[in-house]
A and B are shown apart, each in its own frame.
Chain A
């Protein structure tokens, strides 16, 4: 079993912790050690940090890497994902951490800019991670180390392993970074640990439900960057569909966006809006139904819980009356006869919704506020740019071609936040 914490400067039993050896005391003691490693990190220089972090990412992509292997052992059960999905997630997260990408990121957001108007970046950043999509919080941690700020992660109580394995791997594979990364898991109810954790940091990055983030905002008065729950969409503009072969290829391209993370990611498209008639939407759904059984097997689904199964069954029935629907093990698809967001599609589904015009989308999506994250677009460049502009007000921060939505680069401005610039 993976340990629930890796706190630099603290021995396994916490015997060298001053005070009571409680988790708050250990966090406090480790934060001092982490802060003291900031000069080491900075002395390495930007180039050195880039090289080291890219090397760390390569280690994680190595099938023989012990941390990767351990992650593949423990994360499926911990995160409720198939081993294939966990592997895909690890590969996706670390494949974008290359020297080139990190250099680009620095150039775009950091180089030559003073940190908080000071010579040095924050001495310690804190990171609150959320459940399920276990790599979502990785880019801010990489940004922190890239900027020269040690980092401390609070992992979800029920999903400690990835954060702890990451911290251990940094200590082993990148000792030149010093004792720059710690991680621990505890429950929300452990207020003393959370308070200590937040007190220790100069800047906080938090992932979670909106209500959780609101509570954090009320308590934390230093720079805070919050990443809440979001949704994404796919759009197929009029006249962009080709022949049957093209349509099958399009479905094949789109499906990974819907299946990745079992549909739980903020970059998972919840609907596929089709500019055109209900008949076109139905045709696409039927084609999808013929392709998805095979495609779903590439991203095996975990068994549905009772609640989710009942909701999915209801959705299939309701869409069956409001249009057309089909499902199989690990996939579902439907088309609706009219432009509506309800019934809300379940995870691992493709729901094709006809819209008269792309111009209808902002109004149709308006009940969801400014929580739109990503747009996967099929159509010409001009229409794509126009629509992206229209959807900016709803929070849109990522526009891609089909199949690329769930593969954000490390420098993606998640929720519109320029993450590396946050350290500047």
Chain B
């Protein structure tokens, strides 16, 4: 084992211990001091381990030990993961490589993990908190590829964990090469209802929309009446999933065809470059009184934090993953409550990059985020040439 591995292992241990302690004590807010301490150690490790990141930080005039706080650690935009391998170990030592979905340019962002235990240590308690708050073991029905079907999908990795570790009898992935196996999934959910088993339906927004449309068209028979305590999680982003439905109508439709109350339809926010995820808290709020009061207040304070039915539709991130909005022009961190591009400090990213600059837009308050999406409308271009489009076309012509 190299010394950098020893340092990495020590950091993995520290992060896991901090997460475990936080979960055990139900401590949902970390002090700035403890967050900063860990963030600085990770920053030093990541700069030391990645020559590219080291040079990038030097270019920004920020190096370990020289910055004032975790807020000053240079963020790396998600797009960079498409062109540069950012990790503090040789990539051939990766135990898993998560890749983003393809883009028009054809390149995929890559997130290299040497160890997956910290990734699991981060995803597990937060998923359990928000999707399994009563500690049950439901039938997990997944409308997404399994980890075997898509070994480079961080989503599949997470869903596989849910099936393997928290899934009750009958849990399975309902996905084949042509996409979601809707009839089989519905059959499995009907079977669970017959025996009084709770269901946790997990799926991408696109797959759940296909499910909804198939119910509406009558292809799947009558609506389900899932056992009380069942729930559904939508992930992968609603954007682009539906051209006809608003998110609210989509949720209402899903609730109707599944026979679930609206608060049991939860959205998850995650991305390949992060090890931690955010969840909408409505299910959690229903069972955790101490969280209900704080989250209700937060959701009410956030613009569009509550939907028309008064349900909290903000995303809540774990205390080891902080999020702030930054000014689109200056990229400076904004005060809470101001709309901007979202930036994450994810301490569960031990060997890659902790500070991730996303292209998503939202408002943040005390770790709760409302995604506002990118404003629609044509981009002003004037008479200047769309150089990016021409270069992309030229690239495609060279490497079709």
Listed in ascending order, the chain A residues whose CB lies under 8 Å from chain B are: 80, 130-133, 136, 207, 227-231, 261-266, 268, 270, 301, 303-314, 316-318, 320-321, 323-325, 327-330, 341-342, 344, 347, 367-369, 371
Instruction: Please tell me if the beta carbons of A316 and B384 are within 8 angstroms of each other in the complex.
Output: no
Q: How far is the CB of A72 from chain B (nearest CB, A)?
A: 19
| In the assembled complex, B76 has its CB within 8 A of some CB on chain A | yes
Bound CA span A304–B326, Å? 13
Bound CA span A132–B384, Å? 10
Instruction: Please tell me if the beta carbons of A303 and B382 are within 8 angstroms of each other in the complex.
Output: no
Q: How far is the CB of B103 from chain A (nearest CB, A)?
A: 11
B375 to chain A: closest residue by CB? A306
A sample of 29 cross-chain residue pairs with beta-carbon separation below 8 angstroms, ordered by A number, consists of A130-B382, A131-B382, A133-B383, A228-B383, A229-B384, A230-B384, A231-B385, A266-B382, A270-B387, A303-B328, A303-B329, A304-B328, A305-B374, A305-B375, A307-B379, A310-B341, A313-B328, A314-B79, A314-B80, A314-B359, A317-B75, A317-B79, A317-B357, A318-B80, A320-B56, A341-B391, A344-B388, A344-B391, A369-B390
Instruction: Please tell me if the beta carbons of A329 and B330 are within 8 angstroms of each other in the complex.
Output: yes
A347 to chain B: closest residue by CB? B384
Bound CA span A227–B79, Å? 34
Residues from chain B with a CB closer than 8 A to the CB of A371 are 385, 390
Bound CA span A261–B384, Å? 10
Q: How far is the CB of B273 from chain A (nearest CB, A)?
A: 12
Instruction: Please tell me if the beta carbons of B80 and A368 are within 8 angstroms of each other in the complex.
Output: no
Known: A314-B79, A318-B83, A369-B390. A327 touches B331 (CB 8 A): yes
Instruction: Please tell me if the beta carbons of B380 and A262 are within 8 angstroms of each other in the complex.
Output: yes
Instruction: Please tell me if the beta carbons of A133 and B382 are within 8 angstroms of each other in the complex.
Output: yes
Residues from chain B with a CB closer than 8 A to the CB of A342 are 391
Q: How far is the CB of B92 from chain A (nearest CB, A)?
A: 21
Instruction: Please tell me if the beta carbons of B383 and A264 are within 8 angstroms of each other in the complex.
Output: yes
Instruction: Please tell me if the beta carbons of A305 and B52 are within 8 angstroms of each other in the complex.
Output: no
Q: Using an 8 Å CB-CB cutoff, how does the interface string of B68-90 with A read, 1 for contact, 0 for none?
A: 00000011111110011000000
Choose among A132, A318, A368 the residue that contacts B380 (Cβ–Cβ < 8 A): A132
Choose among A80, A130, A311, A341 the residue that contacts B383 (Cβ–Cβ < 8 A): A130
What is the total number of residues of chain B having a CB less than 8 Å from a CB of chain A? 41
Known: A317-B357, A369-B390. A309 touches B383 (CB 8 A): no
Residues from chain A with a CB closer than 8 A to the CB of B329 are 301, 303-304, 309, 328-330
Residues from chain B with a CB closer than 8 A to the CB of A330 are 329
Q: How far is the CB of B389 from chain A (nearest CB, A)?
A: 9
Q: Among A263, A321, A325, A371, which residue has the most Cβ atoms of chain B within 10 A?
A: A321
Q: Using an 8 Å CB-CB cutoff, how does the interface string of B28-61 with A read, 1 for contact, 0 for none?
A: 0000000000000000000000001001100110
Instruction: Please tell me if the beta carbons of A264 and B77 are within 8 angstroms of each other in the complex.
Output: no
Residues from chain A with a CB closer than 8 A to the CB of B357 are 313, 317
Q: How far is the CB of B382 from chain A (nearest CB, A)?
A: 3
Q: How far is the CB of B176 from chain A (nearest CB, A)?
A: 35
Bound CA span A383–B346, Å? 52
Residues from chain B with a CB closer than 8 A to the CB of A265 are 382-384
Bound CA span A45–B388, Å? 48
Bound CA span A136–B382, Å? 10
Instruction: Please tell me if the beta carbons of B374 and A318 are within 8 angstroms of each other in the complex.
Output: no
Bound CA span A228–B390, Å? 14
B78 to chain A: closest residue by CB? A314
Instruction: Please tell me if the beta carbons of A264 and B382 are within 8 angstroms of each other in the complex.
Output: yes
Instruction: Please tell me if the beta carbons of B394 and A321 are within 8 angstroms of each other in the complex.
Output: no
Q: How far is the CB of A40 from chain B (nearest CB, A)?
A: 33
Bound CA span A316–B56, Å? 11
Q: How far is the CB of B304 from chain A (nearest CB, A)?
A: 15
Residues from chain B with a CB closer than 8 A to the CB of A231 are 384-385, 387
A268 to chain B: closest residue by CB? B384
Choose among B52, B84, B374 the residue that contacts A306 (Cβ–Cβ < 8 A): B374
Residues from chain A with a CB closer than 8 A to the CB of B380 are 80, 131-132, 262, 264, 305
B329 to chain A: closest residue by CB? A329
Q: How far is the CB of A176 from chain B (nearest CB, A)?
A: 32
Known: A131-B382, A263-B384, A264-B384. A309 touches B341 (CB 8 A): yes
Residues from chain B with a CB closer than 8 A to the CB of A262 are 380, 382
Bound CA span A316–B60, Å? 11
| In the assembled complex, B399 has its CB within 8 A of some CB on chain A | no
Residues from chain A with a CB closer than 8 A to the CB of B148 are none
| In the assembled complex, B361 has its CB within 8 A of some CB on chain A | yes
